[in-house]
Structure 1
Amino acid sequence: MAKKQAAAGGSTPATVLLGKLGIPFEIRAYQHDPSVTDFGNEAAEALGVDPAQIFKTLLAEADGQLVVGIVPVAGQLDLKALAAAVGARKAVMANPALAEKKTGYVVGGISPIGQRTKLRTVLDETALELSTVLVSGGRRGLDIEIAPADLKRATDASTANIARS
């Protein structure tokens, strides 16, 4: 997998960080439809990729601390499992405005990579079964294809079973 940045869709904090870390990735850009709110499935359809390969970045509050969960778009974040994975008693979805403020990205384009505030991150363990996954590249219509081990490294993520169907 080659590093493709400016020529293939622009620079974002996510692509800049991957470049600094020397992590290979590929930009996968598509035309985002502003009327669509199911961002992950839109990406899967536009890019012709199995939804099981595309992962969404979700923020939750676990015992008052913001944490990031990265799960397949085909499933949902299991908040109890996320709480357990970070040693918390309870987790709830974070307020979208707070998620945008802390990450520096807009909802629908929140990348797990290169966030403004470094947050504890948990990657669903199913990602490790794939050769590559796609995550948001930092804006709507821009995904990054990356090896799961490299995604873990770039985000300093732990892995756990945090998704449910």
Structure 2
Amino acid sequence: MFEKLKTSLLANNARFKEIHHPSEGNSEKVAAVRGTEVGQGAKAMLCRAKEDENLLVLAVLPGDRKLDFKKLAQAIPCKKITLAPPEVATEKTGCVIGAIPPFSFSSDIRLIVDPDLLARYEEIAFNAGRLDTSIVLNTQDYVRIAQPSLYYICVTE
């Protein structure tokens, strides 16, 4: 996944930097290692519809926010949506949980991004298919390359 992602970014003339770091298990620690804010982290969560296990969605939101499953279900639309089990996420994305980048390289996985992630920062940061490597990517380049659907999917506080 890392090589596929990097090849895509280079082929599309994306403005990005690659950061190698120790594997970290939470958003705060990895943001500190990257030198970014927690909210810049593009948290990618593979979800699937309860009524159709083949309906997969990669929900991407700021690292300091929580996913509102009801809003995500309305965006699809479907009745109910949950996180995909870890083994399904690994099988479908080629990445372990926590390393999934905010890109869908599969026509079977719909990509939905919360607009707040894109509005808050000029760059987003994410694990690049590996827990020990991150990419900090220009936000405009991300939207141009990933072409996500945009819906407000975060819990409002």
CA–CA separation in structure 2 for the residues paired with 1:67 and 1:45: 28
Match of 2:31 among 44, 60, 71: 44
Residue 80 of structure 1 aligns with which residue? Answer: 70
Q: Structure 1, unaligned stretches of length 5 or more? A: 1-10
Secondary structure, aligned partner of 1:74: coil
Task: Tell me the TM-score normalized by structure 2.
Answer: 0.85
Offset of residue 161 of structure 1: 1.0
- How many pairs were matched up? 150
Is 1:61 aligned to residue 48 of structure 2?
yes
Superposed CA offset, 1:33-83 (max 9, x none) = 5xxx32x22211212321011121101013420100011111111111111
Residue 99 of structure 1 pairs with residue 86 of structure 2:
no
Instruction: Write the distance in 1 (CA, Å) between the matches of 2:16 and 2:3.
Output: 13
Structure 2: stretches of 5+ with no match in the other structure: none
Q: What is the RMSD computed on CA atoms of the aligned residues?
A: 1.8
**Which amino acid in the other structure matches residue 96 of structure 2?**
V
- From 74, 79, 82, the equivalent of 1:89 is 79
| 1:68 maps to amino acid | L
Mapped to 2, the partners of 1:134 and 1:56 lie a distance apart of 9
5 Å-filtered alignment, 1:1-165, equals 12-33=3-24, 37-38=25-26, 40-62=27-49, 63-64=51-52, 65-113=55-103, 115=105, 117-118=106-107, 119-129=109-119, 130-164=121-155
**Do the aligned residues in 2 keep the contact of 1:28 with 1:143 (CA within 8 Å)?**
yes
Match of 1:6 in 2: none
Paired-residue identity, %: 25
* TM-score for both structures, normalised by structure 1: 0.81
